[in-house]
Amino acid sequence: MENASLISEQLSEMESVRHQLIEDGTLIKIENLLPDFSLILDVSKVIDFQWVPSPFGDKCLQFFLEDEQMLIIAPDDFVFDVQQDSFIKVSNLPPICSIQELLMGFQDYRHNPVPSPNYDENVGLFYLHLSIFRSAQSHGIAIPMMDELIRIGQANQIWMDV
């Protein structure tokens, strides 16, 4: 609970960020100016946190989490580190991603999910998005378009339920 109080105090310094302690103070729901997205931060997984500037000079709160994960709360975005899937490795997976980048990339992907005649390249592109989505979810960020990604994968015979 002590960690939750310290984190809550720091989040209160960000004007555009709203937060709420839930589950007896073990979780914090965080919302910012990014519409349709929020995250649930498990304070028991927070190892440390610090203030960092965004590329635009905004004051952001960076969290260092268990399992070497990292999360940044910005006034208008969430930034997280991206983990590889244990089964399929994507060579051009970015080390970090923001929700705004995720949205831009998925917008392009949903309009052209099979850009190559090479099936392996199309599988790689699907798994790039899937890895980023799953990484966001592992940081407590709900991804409303996850079902759409799976449907695109199924429709193009890239994703199969087992």
pLDDT digits (tens, 9 = 90+) for 46-94: 999 999 999 889 999 999 999 899 999 999 999 999 998 767 788 888 9
Would you state the pLDDT for residue 43? 94
The overall average pLDDT reported for the chain is 92
Element (H, E) at 1: none
Would you state the pLDDT for residue 88? 76
Domains of the chain: 1-77 (2.30.29), 82-162 (no CATH)
Q: Which has the closest alpha carbon to 74: 149, 141, 144?
A: 141
* Cβ count within 10 A of residue 43: 20
pTM score, whole prediction: 0.91
User: How long a stretch of residues is the chain?
Assistant: 162
Q: Which has the closest alpha carbon to 98: 72, 79, 122?
A: 79
**Under a CB-based contact definition with an 8 Å cutoff, are residues 26 and 44 in contact?**
yes
Give mean pLDDT, residues 110-127: 92
